[in-house]
Amino acid sequence: MTTIALPRWRLPFPLVVGLAVVGWTIAWFAAAPFAAWFAFDLLGLEPGSHLGEAVAFFAFDVPKVLLLLLGIVTVVTLIRGFFPPEKVRNALAGRGNGVGTVAAASFGIVTPFCSCSAVPLFIGFVEAGVPLGVTFAFLISSPMVNEVALVLLWGLFGPGIALVYMGAGLTVAIVGGLVIGRMHMERYVEDYVWELRGVSGSLPDVHLTWEDRIREAWTYTRDLVRRILPYILVGIGIGAFIHGFIPTDLVVAIGGPGNPLAVPLVVLIALPLYSNAAGTIPIVQALLGKGMAVGTTLAFMMAVTAISLPEFVILQKVIKAPLLAVFAGIVTVGILFVGYLFNFLIY
């Protein structure tokens, strides 16, 4: 299957992978000294000055975020190659509501889909007899626990916040799925979806070797990083500006634990930012460093990745307005709840 592409790789494949891992590791440890040298020696900026700190932040974050994305998204893509939605659907089809909802929400972490796949995915799940609530648990968790966001949170803040982000997303997805399942909203699914039942064709049964899988994961990652690179650079630029120039007092006054309206405010700001999840992390990193509350930060992250206007518009093809409103409502309320809960628990 890959015979034509082979001549591109002159070195033996395991050696290429080994060299890539070594190169990645060296670059990872060189990033911090490089940033300090670049900002304070090469450009001669003063450590502690507004501009110096902003430039150092930028020079440190660009290689760090890029390395994290390239390295970990490749690994995540590789892992999720073993959990295609077809398998997930078959595993969920026979389950009851309770177990199914929890399982669907968990699968959502490793099986993301782009918003243009939302409709075929929805039809495929419903058609196979997956209950509506279970289907929605998957539809909520998959974008909400965004794998790029998760990986960057882990790399930049450590496992604590990353796991909290994941746990909170899972909880919203499970509760959302259970609520939608309990409300019996099947009549709000467009009629033609039910009529399609049982028409599924055969699926390709492709056997992939490890080499195929690694190559495909790398190609996917490279394309993804290339596509989101402008957003990342803009995001890091804004983050650097906040880090260097915005006074801590201002951030604390607006986004700190003392402002009760901070959570809905950031969710509102996040609405138009869909698909730029990777670009918002550096901004979040800078804001958190300046005293923005953790719950508020989490709500912002989740709203960016999970509230997707384009996806809602696309889903209108298969579900009617009341169900769509319930879906959007649960996601929004869930995010607000997570934000307030964490602010309450921590401060």
User: Does 206 contact other proteins by CB under 8 A?
Assistant: yes
224 binds other proteins (CB under 8 A): no
Closest residue by Cα to residue 171 from 293, 338, 300 = 338
Report d(CA 100, CA 177) in Å as an integer: 9
Asked if residues 54 and 243 have their Cβ atoms less than 8 Å apart, the reply is yes
Tokens of 226: 């290339």
Residue 10 touching other proteins (CB under 8 A): no
Closest approach of other proteins to the CB of residue 216, in Å? 7
124 forms part of the interface with other proteins (CB under 8 A): yes
CB-based contacts of 47, cutoff 8 Å, min separation 6: 40, 53, 56
| H/E element, 55 | helix 50-80
**Closer of 48 and 201 to other proteins (Cβ):** 201
Distance CA 331, CA 304 (A): 12
Q: Which is nearer to other proteins, 48 or 226 (CB)?
A: 226
The span of 17-25, 197-205, 231-239, 324-332 binding other proteins (CB under 8 A) equals 197-205
Name the one range near other proteins by CB under 8 A: 16-24, 163-171, 177-185, 191-199.
191-199
What gap in Å lies between CA 334 and CA 247, rounded to an integer?
31
Residue 123 as a binder of other proteins (CB under 8 A): the answer is: yes
Q: In whole angstroms, how close is the CB of 223 to other proteins at the nearest point? A: 8
C-beta closer to other proteins: residue 206 or 321: 206
Q: Check: CB of residue 138 under 8 Å from CB of residue 85.
A: no
H or E segment and range at residue 102: helix 97-110
Q: Is 121 in the site for other proteins (CB under 8 A)?
A: yes
Longest dimension (CA), the chain: 69
Decide if 140 contacts 177 (C-beta within 8 A): yes
d(C-alpha 11, C-alpha 9), whole Å: 6
Task: Out of 17, 314, 328, 341, point to the residue binding other proteins (CB under 8 A).
Answer: 314
Strand, helix or coil for residue 319 = strand
Q: Does 313 bind other proteins (CB under 8 A)?
A: no
Binding track, positions 96-115, relative to other proteins; x by CB under 8 A = -----------------xx-
Smallest distance, other proteins to C-beta of residue 196, A: 5
222 binds other proteins (CB under 8 A): no
Judged by the rule CB under 8 A, the positions of this chain that interact with other proteins are 1-5, 84-86, 89, 113-114, 116-117, 119-121, 123-125, 127, 192, 196, 199-204, 206, 216, 220, 227, 314, 317-318
